[in-house]
Amino acid sequence: MIISKKVEKALNSQVNAEFFSAYLYLSMSADFESKSLTGFAKWLKLQAKEEVEHAMKIYNYILERGGKVELENIEKPKTEWNTPLAAFNDAYEHEKKVTSLIYKLVEISQEEKDYATIEMLQWFVKEQVEEEAQTQLIVEHLKMAGDSKNAIMMIDHRLSKREDD
């Protein structure tokens, strides 16, 4: 069965949202690099790579279902944050927004009785639980660190240990 136009359009929008997520995290990574916080930068660069993989997963799914991929302009992200906490607060809020977009996709797929898309989206539903939890934990650690440069450097060091999945 070919994907419905309504589901196709919604999935194309999500491809754009996932690419925007990658742009946002790359922008954050560049900002951290400019401030010599290379652990934060590495973590966000890997996060950006993961978001591109998410976009491509949906991209390929649209094609598998006989749909047409239509790439739109990607919005320019913010480029500077005053503190690591400000950046990760933005990242956490962004992940919550992405979760709501995924839930909306599930709702549209349910309305269209598109069970294959509902099944595919379950991976994203589970993934968003992890994405929100990871960014929220970093936010909480940064809140505990406050203005302590030593604590910020310890968090930076810990984030530098993230492995490429």
Q: Residue 2's pLDDT band (boundaries 50, 70, 90)?
A: confident
- Compute CA distances 4 → 43, 87, 103, whole Å: 37, 38, 18
According to CATH, the superfamily of the domain at 5-159 is Ferritin, core subunit, four-helix bundle (1.20.1260.10)
Predicted structure pTM score? 0.95
Q: What is the pLDDT of residues 27-86, one digit of tens each?
A: 999 999 999 999 999 999 999 999 999 999 999 999 999 999 999 999 999 999 999 999
pLDDT confidence of residue 165: 66
124 has a pLDDT exceeding 70: yes
